[in-house]
Amino acid sequence: MTLTKGEGVDVAIEAVGVPATFAICQAIVGAGGHIANIGVHGKPVELHLERLWDRNITITTRLVDTVTTPMLLKIVQAGRLQPQKLVTHRFALHDVIKAYETFGHAATEGALKVILNNEAQHAN
């Protein structure tokens, strides 16, 4: 809110799927703004209508799919989005089970995005 001089952001994207990040989105969205929820939630979140009702915001939910993937790829190719900053774990393809377990325990493992490579490297 300091960065926006108290006005809030036009768009807050929740892409993690945890209650804390959804709460942050609600706290930083400005009047007339939009919360785009694309995170996969495993736990309930609180919707604070008592704080949002007078801001005329919209909330949408959706996963990245075949409809949105081409647009997402164009944004990445243009350099407007830097997904590598979200990668916290890398695994060789033969370690797919360990990668899946790491992502399945994302909160305790500190995993945001897990990448599988054909290469034999394994760096967290």
Which ranges of the chain have pLDDT less than 50?
Answer: 122
User: In terms of Cα–Cα distance, which of 50, 41, 56, 46 is closest to 8?
Assistant: 56
Task: Answer yes or no: are the C-beta atoms of 89 and 99 closer than 8 Å.
Answer: yes
Q: What is the mean pLDDT of the chain?
A: 89
The DSSP-derived string for the chain is: -TTTTTS-EEEEEE-S-SHHHHHHHHHHEEEEEEEEE-S--SS-----HHHHTTS--EEEE----TTTHHHHHHHHHTTS--GGGGEEEEEEGGGHHHHHHHHHTHHHHT-SEEEEESSS----
Q: What is the pLDDT, as a whole number, of residue 11?
A: 96
Structure-token match 């944004």, residue found: 75
Rounded Cα distance, 88 and 110, in Å: 8
Q: What is the pLDDT, as a whole number, of residue 121?
A: 52
Q: Please write the tens of the pLDDT for every residue from 23-55.
A: 999 999 999 999 999 888 889 999 999 999 999
What structural domains does the chain harbor?
A: 9-77 (3.40.50.720), 83-117 (no CATH)
Q: What is the pLDDT, as a whole number, of residue 72?
A: 85
Task: Answer yes or no: are the C-beta atoms of 22 and 45 closer than 8 Å.
Answer: yes
Task: Answer yes or no: are the C-beta atoms of 55 and 33 closer than 8 Å.
Answer: yes
